[in-house]
Amino acid sequence: MTTRPVALDLNGYTDLPPGKIATVVTYLEMHEPPRLSPVRAPEGLSLERIDHDLVRYRRLFRRIGEDWLWFSRAVMPDGDLASILGDPAVEAYALNDGTGDVGLLELDFRSQNEAELAFLGLVPGIIGQGAGRYLMTEALRRAFARPVSRFFVHTCSLDHPSALTFYLRSGFTAYKRAIEVADDPRLLGFLPLEAAPHVPVLAGPK
């Protein structure tokens, strides 16, 4: 039996098939560095390059993203992820507090004259202590240290509730929205079923 594709209703509700998740994605950009006061690293924190360490990267990505259902890199095969992180135009950093990694900053310069803030996040318990603002300061400094004409990022409605506001306050301007539909990574075994409890698992009837 062939499943008929679901048409998106642009003026109302669209039912999702069991096992699917959906999120509203907001795309943001800036074309010159904003006039923000620089922020120093909170005491005891330092940035360490981790492009070469796939295990460390995955561990940190999962610690940060599991609560918000970050799945893009969770479902990505090791070879594909290693190819991205191994590209000299990609920079991935861990924010370390001396006992472990507590934040992630990833910048992608593969598009000519552009930079993407691929990921910026903190582990639970660190948000609200100035570490995020420091990571953004570093992101802006490193991005505009190169001859880029555009710095861009996207966030979604599954992310931390303050994420979009944080980007807007950092100088980004929203320019596009999209709806992303994907297989629930928890049902595929890439994330535990208890991840992101604010997004119920809907597997359908048994």
Is residue 14, in this structure, part of any structural domain at all? no
Tell me what the pLDDT averaged over the chain comes to: 92
Q: What is the mean pLDDT of residues 163-179?
A: 97
pLDDT value of residue 9: 80
3-state secondary structure of 15: coil
Angle of CA points 107, 62, 43, to nearest 5°:
65
pLDDT of residue 197: 92
Q: Which of 138, 118, 128 is nearest to 166 (CA)?
A: 128
CATH number at residue 73: 3.40.630.30
The number of distinct structural domains making up the chain is: 1
With respect to residue 195, please indicate whether it lies within any of the assigned structural domains: no
Asked whether the predicted pLDDT for residue 205 surpasses 80, the reply is: no
Q: Is the pLDDT of residue 41 over 90?
A: no
Q: Considering the domain boundaries, does residue 119 fall inside one?
A: yes
- Indicate if the pLDDT at residue 2 is higher than 60: no
Q: What share of the chain is helix, strand, coil (3-state, %, to 5)?
A: 20, 30, 50
Q: What is the dihedral of CA 49, 46, 105, 184, to 10 degrees?
A: 100
Instruction: Give me the mean pLDDT over the 64-85 stretch.
Output: 95
**Domain presence at residue 11:** no
In whole angstroms, what is the distance from residue 62 CA to residue 69 CA? 9
**8 Å CB contact between 45 and 55:** no
**33-37, 55-59, 143-147, 197-201: least confident range:** 33-37
Confidence check: pLDDT of 1 > 60? no
Domain of residue 70 covers 21-33+41-183
Flag whether 200 is in a domain: no
> What is the Cα 143 distance to its own chain's centre?
17
Q: Are strands 114-122 and 150-156 parallel, antiparallel or unpaired?
A: parallel
| pLDDT tens digits along 118-146 | 999 999 888 777 889 999 999 999 999 99
Residues 139, 117: Cα–Cα separation, whole Å? 7
